[in-house]
Amino acid sequence: MIDRRGSKGRLGLTDKDNSPVKTQLQWGGRFGTGPAEVMQAINASISFDAKLWRQDIAGSQAHAAMLAKQGIITPADQAAIREGLEAIAAEIEAGTFHFSESLEDIHTNIEVRLTERIGEAARRLHTARSRNDQVATDFRLWVRNAIDGVLVQIHGLMKTLSERAVEHAATVMPGFTHLQTAQPVTFGHHLLAYVEMLARDAGRLKDARARLNECPLGSAALAGTSFPIDRFATAEALGFARPTANSLDSVSDRDFALEFLSALSICAMHLSRFSEEIIIWCSSPYKLIELSDAFTTGSSIMPQKRNPDAAELAKAKTGRIFGALIGLLTVMKGLPMAYAKDMQEDKEPVFDAVAAISLCLTAMDGMVRDMKANKDRMEALAGSGFSTATDLADWLVRVLKMPFRDAHHTTGQLVRLAEGKNCDLSELILSDMQSIEPRITAEIFEVLTVQASVASRTSYGGTAPINVAKQAAVWLESLA
């Protein structure tokens, strides 16, 4: 529970016998009175940064251990801090910890509670650090964990897509450019296209994780500290590769959050593109796939409707993630060195974006597992719109040794002829074709089926079923 009683509620926490415990403003020596109620409301961040409690406790444990090792605090103080923080973690896990808005943020809430539990030793914990480097460390730890979680989901979706690609390695469907029928492809090949996109998304997240994996703790407010701390020790204890190298940059950098949001935005864009294709494929004019009741909804007035709402909502949530990126870029664009309270606006958009992308990835994985391919409909549409015209042109080049531009022109004439006869290329009779190009033989009809078309596309990365099966197997092995 969060105490929202304003400045008059500063007696927010209670001790073991349930009597009020007075808390002290972090800057109380300089200020004689408390903030106005509206100032407290705009200043407090505990309503959202309570999410950082695990990271805050981990950072404090590492900091206290380092202080003791360096002789800055006593081993007894460090032991009391460790036990007190462990007890606070148990309280938060159990839901009995009282979060107070009057204490502003997660750092102060935990420190005040620690003081209640262990007394004077808790007041030594903040030696050689500031809330500036503390929050920068906590936030990096949270984003690092979030990246790991999103990567698990992306890899899961890649695996699901690869499994369905194996199933549909030879399922022919129309391939589109400009949303017009272009050439036949396989459904498995289409699904693997999104595996490639997601692999790039995963790569960007891994790159972002590597860059953020430096520890700001010990940079203090902005200038470092005069205490003989060991920043390498705290970095190692928290799983960072190294400490950050410049104290000013350490407390003012939010590039790691921006890069994370950028990677999430590109991933969301990929999911949105796939969502739009699912919506099109489900629509009555196409009917290439079906989704079950699990991922569709009905209409309040039209009883026949089955709406692909999971796909529509996954597409719409892209706006939230884009908005998070633009919002944080806007916050950061005018800030001088080093820390400014503007940066308090950094966490909520990141938290919201992670929740949105996680939900979208879960929904997409479910839809891919759920979708049923209408194979007959796919094959019928794959052969529409003269989709094998390129195969005809390739035959003219390969067999008749025509320059491709000449073959392209000849094929265009044959398409026009078929249009005039209201038939497909494969339905033209040989004499009709020979009226355009006398050297054409009956062999031409062997390349004008959709199955022959996809089977011929054996170039690396092509849609041939043998390629699709092989590439899907490669992905499944790498994702195992």
Q: What is the DSSP string of 78-140?
A: HHHHHHHHHHHHHHHHHT---EEGGG-SHHHHHHHHHHHHHTHHHHTTTTT--HHHHHHHHHH
Whether the pLDDT of residue 185 is over 70: the answer is yes
pLDDT in tens, 226-262: 999 999 999 999 999 999 999 999 999 999 999 999 9
Contact between 294 and 315 under an 8 Å Cβ cutoff? The reply is no
Annotated catalytic residue 299: yes
Q: What is the mean pLDDT of residues 417-446?
A: 93
Q: Which of 226, 250, 275, 299 is catalytic?
A: 299
Q: What is the mean pLDDT of residues 216-221?
A: 97
Where residue 56 falls (left for φ over 0; alpha for ψ -120 to 50; beta otherwise) is: alpha
- Structure pTM? 0.89
Whether the pLDDT of residue 303 is over 90: the answer is no
| Alpha-helix residue ranges (DSSP H) falling in 185-334 | 187-212, 231-237, 247-252, 255-282, 309-316, 318-332
What percent of the chain shows pLDDT beyond 90? 81
CA–CA gap between residue 257 and residue 139 (Å, rounded) = 8
Whether the pLDDT of residue 4 is over 60: the answer is no
Q: Note the pLDDT of residue 7.
A: 32
Q: Note the pLDDT of residue 403.
A: 96
pLDDT interval class at 42 (50, 70, 90)? confident
Residue with the bigger pLDDT between 15 and 52: it is 52
Q: What is the mean pLDDT of residues 98-126?
A: 95
The packing angle between helices 318-332 and 309-316, to 10°, is 10
Annotated catalytic residue 270: no
Contact between 374 and 288 under an 8 Å Cβ cutoff? The reply is yes
Whether the pLDDT of residue 17 is over 80: the answer is no
Q: Which of 19, 178, 431, 459 is catalytic?
A: 178
Q: What is the mean pLDDT of residues 304-316?
A: 89
pLDDT interval class at 32 (50, 70, 90)? low
Q: Which two tokens stand for residue 19?
A: 């009597």
Burial zone of 346 (CB within 10 Å; 0-12 exposed, 13-18 middle, 19+ buried): buried
Q: What is the mean pLDDT of residues 214-219?
A: 98
Burial zone of 181 (CB within 10 Å; 0-12 exposed, 13-18 middle, 19+ buried): middle
Contact between 153 and 135 under an 8 Å Cβ cutoff? The reply is no
CA–CA gap between residue 260 and residue 146 (Å, rounded) = 9
Enter the DSSP assignment of 307. B
How many Cβ atoms are within 10 Å of 339's Cβ, its own excluded? 21
Residue with the bigger pLDDT between 27 and 194: it is 194
Whether the pLDDT of residue 41 is over 70: the answer is yes
Whether the pLDDT of residue 203 is over 90: the answer is yes
| Strand, helix or coil for residue 73 | coil
| CA atoms in the 13 A half-sphere facing the CB of 391 | 25
